[in-house]
Structure formats: structure tokens, C-alpha cells
């Protein structure tokens, strides 16, 4: 039986207002199109092209063979937390109690979500530098905070400038969210530059959430964490994980280190939403912590060679290109072509079957740029460069 059209009521909109206003990911929408095409060389998704090293995979297999298939502590296994505390102390000069100050998360993405939800009251402002990873602004909105972007420029190597940070601070500012080395620009901050930022955070009582997922992939100088600077450990949530440096994206395991009250607050959200990170992933992560350094260094050297090739190639074809100091992304300017980031990326995809990400996917200040991931084999990079040069000509 069909009801008369006049009696059919419109479907009520049950979607929460703060969710309804969140845009879809510009990267994911773009790659829905890419996946529908054949023969595309993708310089898009930020995922290592290396397979997870065998001994790390073997640790996961062995865990299954031993029947390790149950829950762990909400915080994660103690062995992994102890290994992380030792690793962070050695590489970042940070000391954390593995019993109360380390939390294992489902990737850095969950760690960021937990950190924001644990500290934000509705309307609190979170300052962050842009261009930035696509999830930052939506994650802040989902935690009922207010996202405040601070633009960075190629002229200043995409660093967060102290004067720009000061200008953005208001009485409602509570958190500074940082990501260095940066996705998508490859920008880094030196210890001296971070100290200027840290001084402002201490002066204005800002909490810092630092996403250092690419920190092992620093090329030109040693990495410094803002959490290691004087007076910053107690006001910083340090986020890190295994996806990038150890090529473990599918394992979905990360961690947060912070003073015990902050970790406890994050853990209370984590235990009701997730309970714990998968035990098999934690076993693999433990192997990476204990025996993965040589693999990481070898992959980093491959990324360095690819970076050097791409920087030279883009400059040769007339596109200004900042040399990234970390991560595995290039952020060349396409302004000399006269095209917008969107038109350049979609035009290149259609004409030459090469996928790069429009810079605007990372915020309005990304206009005039595209992101190219060099987590792709050298042979593919060489073909992609030839096609891009043809497209520009």
C-alpha cells in the first residue's frame, strides 16, 4: 500500500549540528576519484611504500600463535609502556613513569581525539599552524572547541612564528596544537625557535599538544621536542606512534605521554570508547621499539634520496620548491602555472594520470601549492616527474 504523497513526512534531521558542519576530507574525496581510474601514479596518500619489517610482522604472528588474543590494561601492556618510556627518554630527553604517564592508543588519531576531549570545555580555543594535517580542525570541533588557524608561509619555511602566535592569542585560548616535522609541508622547528614558542606558552598558560609522528624522519638536524624544554613537560601532551617511521600504518597503534592527571583523564575516555589498543598490534610495536631502529634508519635514507631527487626535479621544471627538513612530503608552489591548487591537481590527474593533493585540502593557506608524497618507489617518482613536466609545458 502506498501512502498519498501529501501524507509523507520529511525525514527528521537527527545529525548533531557540530557534526553536520564538518566538511568531508579533501584528501579522501580526491582519492575516491583516483581509485576509480586506471594507471594512476599516486603521490598522494601519506603511507610508507615499505612493507612492515619482517621481524615486526613475525612478532605479531608469534603473539597469535601463543594465543595472545585478549584485552590488555586500558593503558596498554606494561612491557610496551616501559619500552616507550625508555625510547622517549633516550631519543627525546623526556622522562615519564610507564605506570601512570604513558597511554597506548589506536594510532595518533585517537591520541589527539582523547587529548582534545580530555582538556577542552565548550568554546575553548585551540591554536594550530596551517597548512596542517586535515583532521586537526574537525577534531577540535568534535571536542566542542574552537579551531583558530595560524598561517605559515614558504618564505619562513612553514615555521610557526612567535609574532603570529602572539597575535592569535585571546582570553579563550587554551591549547596550542603543533606538528613538527609537519604534514604537509615538511617544515621543522629548531630548539631555539621552539624556545620562543615555549616562552609564549608559559606566559599565557597554554597547554601544548605536540604531534611528533614524523620526528624520526628528520633529515638535516636532530629533532627537538617542545616537551623537553624548561617548564614545558608539565604543560605538554606528547603524541607519537609507529605508522610512519616503522611503516606500521595498518597496525593502528600510537601512544601519548603526559603528566599523570592528563593521562588519567585521557584513559577514562579511552576505556569507555575503545577499552584498549589491540594486543597483537601492541606486541608488534614492542618489537619495533626494541629492535626496529636499523630498519627505520634505512627507510629514512631512502626517503632522503627521493626528497633530493624531487626537489631538484621540481626546481628544474620551474616550480619553486622548499626543501623539506622532515616527514616524506614535498609542498611545491604551482603559482607560476597560473592555476589554482584544485585546477592543477585535477588537471594533472586527468591529463597525465598523476595524483597530487591540492594544497587547499590542508587549509586556505595551502592555496598555490600541492602536496606530493615521496613514500613511493623511485621508479614511479621518475615517471611521475616526467609526466608533471609534460603537463606544465
Tell me the DSSP string of 167-187.
Answer: HH--TTEEEEEE-SS-TTT--
Q: What is the pLDDT of residues 200-237, one digit of tens each?
A: 999 999 999 999 999 999 998 789 999 999 999 999 99
- Cβ neighbours of residue 302 under 8 Å, at least 6 residues apart? 50
Does the pLDDT of residue 2 top 70, yes or no? no
Separation between Cα atoms, residue 283 and residue 96, nearest integer Å? 21
R_g of the chain, CA atoms, integer Å: 22
Q: What is the pLDDT of residues 310-327, one digit of tens each?
A: 999 999 999 999 999 999
Find, among 196, 209, 307, 313, the residue nearest to 263 by Cα: 209
In the three-class reduction of DSSP (H, G, I as helix; E, B as strand; rest coil), residue 7 is classed as: helix
Read off the C-alpha cell for 40: 594512476
Q: Answer whether 245's CB lies under 8 Å from 217's CB.
A: yes
pLDDT for position 146:
97
Percent of the chain with pLDDT over 90: 86
Q: What is the pLDDT of residues 232-258, one digit of tens each?
A: 999 999 999 999 999 999 999 999 999
CA dihedral (32, 45, 178, 159) in degrees, to 10, reads -110
- Cβ neighbours of residue 181 under 8 Å, at least 6 residues apart? 187, 188, 214, 215, 217, 218, 223, 324, 325, 326, 327
Q: What is the pLDDT of residues 254-302, one digit of tens each?
A: 999 999 999 999 999 999 999 999 999 999 999 999 999 999 999 999 9
Find, among 355, 356, 342, 388, the residue nearest to 184 by Cα: 356
Q: What is the pLDDT of residues 77-110, one digit of tens each?
A: 999 999 999 999 999 999 999 999 999 999 999 9
C-beta atoms surrounding 109 within 10 Å? 19
Q: Where are the beta strands (DSSP E) in the chain?
A: 41-42, 102-105, 125-130, 146-151, 173-178, 207-211, 236-241, 254-257, 329-330, 354-355, 357-358, 370-373
pLDDT for position 5:
54
Read off the C-alpha cell for 113: 581525539
Find, among 178, 181, 167, 230, the residue nearest to 202 by Cα: 230
Read off the C-alpha cell for 307: 626528497
Mean pLDDT of the chain: 93
pLDDT for position 19:
85
Does the pLDDT of residue 3 top 60, yes or no? no
Pairing label, strands 207-211, 173-178: parallel
Q: Answer whether 199's CB lies under 8 Å from 231's CB.
A: no
The dihedral sign for the CA sequence 155, 156, 157, 160: negative
Find, among 340, 344, 350, the residue nearest to 392 by Cα: 344
Read off the C-alpha cell for 238: 606528547
pLDDT for position 20:
83
CB-hemisphere CA count at 13 Å for 246?
Answer: 27
Separation between Cα atoms, residue 284 and residue 296, nearest integer Å? 14
Amino acid at each position: 500500500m502506498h501512502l498519498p504523497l501529501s501524507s509523507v513526512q520529511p525525514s527528521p534531521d537527527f545529525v548533531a549540528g557540530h557534526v553536520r558542519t564538518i566538511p568531508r576530507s579533501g584528501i579522501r574525496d580526491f582519492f575516491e576519484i583516483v581509485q576509480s581510474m586506471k594507471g594512476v601514479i599516486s603521490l598522494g596518500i601519506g603511507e610508507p611504500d615499505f612493507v612492515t619489517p619482517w621481524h615486526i610482522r613475525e612478532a605479531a604472528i608469534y603473539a597469535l600463535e601463543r594465543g595472545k588474543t585478549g584485552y590488555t590494561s586500558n593503558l596498554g601492556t606494561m612491557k610496551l609502556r616501559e619500552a616507550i618510556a625508555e625510547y622517549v627518554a633516550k631519543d627525546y630527553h623526556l622522562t615519564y613513569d610507564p605506570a601512570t604517564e604513558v597511554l597506548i592508543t589506536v594510532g595518533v588519531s585517537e591520541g589527539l581525539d582523547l587529548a582534545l576531549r580530555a582538556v577542552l570545555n565548550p568554546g575553548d580555543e585551540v591554536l594550530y599552524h596551517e597548512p596542517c594535517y586535515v583532521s586537526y580542525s574537525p577534531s577540535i570541533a568534535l571536542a566542542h572547541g574552537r579551531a583558530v588557524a595560524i598561517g605559515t608561509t614558504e618564505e619562513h619555511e612553514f615555521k610557526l612564528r612567535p609574532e603570529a602566535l602572539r597575535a592569535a592569542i585571546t582570553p579563550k585560548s587554551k591549547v596550542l596544537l603543533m606538528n613538527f616535522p609537519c604534514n604537509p609541508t615538511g617544515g621543522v622547528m629548531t630548539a631555539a625557535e621552539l624556545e620562543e614558542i615555549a616562552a609564549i606558552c608559559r606566559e599565557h598558560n597554554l597547554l601544548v599538544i605536540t604531534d611528533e609522528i614524523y620526528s624520526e624522519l628528520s633529515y638535516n638536524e636532530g629533532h627537538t621536542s617542545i616537551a623537553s624544554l624548561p617548564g614545558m613537560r608539565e604543560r605538554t601532551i606528547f603524541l607519537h606512534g609507529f605508522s610512519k617511521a616503522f611503516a606500521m600504518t595498518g597496525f593502528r597503534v600510537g601512544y601519548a605521554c603526559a603528566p599523570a592527571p592528563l593521562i588519567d583523564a585521557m584513559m577514562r575516555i579511552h576505556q569507555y570508547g575503545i577499552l584498549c589498543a589491540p594486543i597483537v598490534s601492541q606486541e608488534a610495536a614492542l618489537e619495533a621499539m626494541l629492535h626496529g631502529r636499523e630498519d627505520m634508519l634505512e627507510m629514512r635514507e631512502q626517503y632522503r634520496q627521493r626528497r633530493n631527487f624531487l626537489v631538484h626535479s621540481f626546481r628544474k621544471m620551474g616550480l619553486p620548491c622548499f626543501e623539506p627538513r622532515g616527514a616524506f612530503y614535498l609542498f611545491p608552489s604551482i603559482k607560476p602555472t597560473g592555476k589554482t591548487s584544485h585546477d592543477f591537481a585535477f588537471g594533472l590527474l586527468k591529463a597525465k594520470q598523476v595524483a597530487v593533493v591540492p594544497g587547499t585540502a590542508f587549509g586556505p593557506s595551502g592555496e598555490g601549492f600541492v602536496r606530493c608524497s615521496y613514500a613511493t618507489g623511485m621508479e614511479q617518482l621518475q615517471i611521475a616527474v616526467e609526466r608533471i613536466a609534460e603537463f606544465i609545458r
